[in-house]
Structure 1
Amino acid sequence: MINYLTDRRDQIVFWETPTLMQPLYGEALQKPEIGKHRFVIASDGVYVEAINPVLEVRLPVAKSGIKLPYGKIGAVGICLVNGKIPKRILQDICEKTFLCGEYEWAGLVVWDKIRKEYELYEPEVISFSAGHISYRNVLPDKYNLVMDLHSHGTVPAFFSKTDDQSDIGGFYIAGVVGNCDSGEPTFATRIVVNGHFFESPDFRKFFN
């Protein structure tokens, strides 16, 4: 399949992040390898696919200007493997961001592999102020990371260059809550897939 790649380094890149054809006639592709991502070329363009123990992702990367001779990709979006997150956790997140007011707050929504349930985990904070927060994002082994959230105090929600550096690795939903001192907070969301950033529905939509 990759015999045309004559350089071993190119072969390694392909195996680590393959680009595959969406079958037009044959059986559907098997799911990606856990924790890794791949690109799939379908009839209308390129998609990214990834899976980990708590998330499954299939999202558009680039639309083709012509119809390609490949199969249709099927449903796209972000799926929580263990179902939606309880609304009480979202309420807890909102309360904590509002109580912190002008100061930034951070919290991680995790899946407890032992208890088989979602939890809000507050990481150890190294430093924080009205303009930044630094925290340790190493989780206990019993947790899988689902969401990495933080607040922006009185500033609107957006992803800063610092956030871009923080999100350079990993595979999770990232969210920001802004204008926490007002009655009309703002929200920003994206999904991080091994250093790549993709658009995502508002993180509040993953709660029920």
Structure 2
Amino acid sequence: MTLLADDPTGAALLAAMPCYPVPSQGRSPAIEALRTARVGQGLAVGHDGVMLILRRPWLALDTWVTPPISAYLPYGSAGTPRADLRCGLIPRELGNRVLGHLREALPNESAAFILWNEVTRQFSVEFPVIDEATPSRLVYHPPILRPDWHLICDIHSHAAGPAFFSATDDVDDAHSAKISLVFGRLDSADGPVTASRLCAGGMFLSLPRSPFAGDRHDR
């Protein structure tokens, strides 16, 4: 078999993000193994486009990287997009606890993380060490994860300001697999506004539903 790379570093990078053509007939054991993996990522190339397959203990994601390829390819379909929380929906009471914490920090910005334990399947809230907090600036540290714990949500507030993702947020989120949430207008009687996205494979994807149980978007 011809090697895909003769440089060890290049070979390691290709192994970390393999790329598989989808057979037009039969099955692909390599793609099936990737889709059932506990942890992994790779690309499936089909006649209908290139799909990122990403697996984490808490997330099963299949999402398009490209539109359908116009050139003729003797390949099958890469499949159907999906974004499933293997960990399940986050308990609503944890979301309420985070929201209360963010409001208590007014007029300054604040932050929180939601973690999940792969063994016990329990969620937890962790509030980070904050180096600097003002109404328009926040500097904080991500958690140091203990064994079996995974970061599910990275949450911060914009205090009384609007909810959006800044250029700094884009840099921070670029190489992570997590849900990012920003809460704004925390002083409003009409309730806060929220910006949300799923960060995966260097992409920022719209959430198909709220990650919290009980929210109107969780159906």
**Does TM, scored on the shorter chain, surpass 0.5?**
yes
Higher mean displacement: 5-14 or 100-109: 5-14
1:31 aligns with 2:38: no
SS of the counterpart of 2:164?
coil
Aligned mates of 1:45, 1:15 — CA distance in 2: 21
Q: CA deviation at 1:45?
A: 0.9
Match of residue 171, structure 1, among 169, 174, 177: 177
Aligned mates of 1:23, 1:127 — CA distance in 2: 53
* Paired position in structure 1 for 2:193: 186
Equivalent runs, 1:155-170 vs 2, <5 Å = 155-170=161-176
1:54 aligns with 2:61: no
1:198 aligns with 2:204: yes
1:15 aligns with 2:15: yes
- Contact 1:44–1:68 (8 Å) recurs in 2: no
Aligned mates of 1:164, 1:120 — CA distance in 2: 23
Q: Provide closer, same or farther for how the CA distance between residues 106 and 70 of structure 1 changes in structure 2, counting only shifts above 3 A.
A: same
* Paired position in structure 1 for 2:86: 81
- Contact 2:198–2:207 (8 Å) recurs in 1: no
TM-score, length-normalised on structure 1?
Answer: 0.85
Aligned mates of 2:56, 2:4 — CA distance in 1: 30
Q: Percent same amino acid among aligned pairs?
A: 25
1:90 aligns with 2:95: yes
What are structure 1's unaligned runs of at least 5 residues? none
Higher mean displacement: 25-34 or 163-172: 25-34
Q: CA deviation at 1:172?
A: 1.1
Equivalent runs, 1:62-77 vs 2, <5 Å = 62-66=66-70, 68-77=73-82
Give CA deviations for 1:84-134 in whole Å, capped at 9, x if unaligned: 111111222222223333311111111134542111111222221111222
Tell me the number of residue pairs that the alignment of Structure 1 and Structure 2 aligns: 206
Q: Provide closer, same or farther for how the CA distance between residues 130 and 63 of structure 1 changes in structure 2, counting only shifts above 3 A.
A: same
SS of the counterpart of 2:65?
strand
TM-score, length-normalised on structure 2?
Answer: 0.81
Amino acid at match of 1:70: Y
Q: CA deviation at 1:65?
A: 4.8
Q: CA deviation at 1:68?
A: 4.2
- Contact 1:190–1:197 (8 Å) recurs in 2: no
Aligned mates of 1:168, 1:144 — CA distance in 2: 17
Q: CA deviation at 1:75?
A: 3.2
- Contact 1:102–1:152 (8 Å) recurs in 2: no
Q: Provide closer, same or farther for how the CA distance between residues 127 and 57 of structure 1 changes in structure 2, counting only shifts above 3 A.
A: same
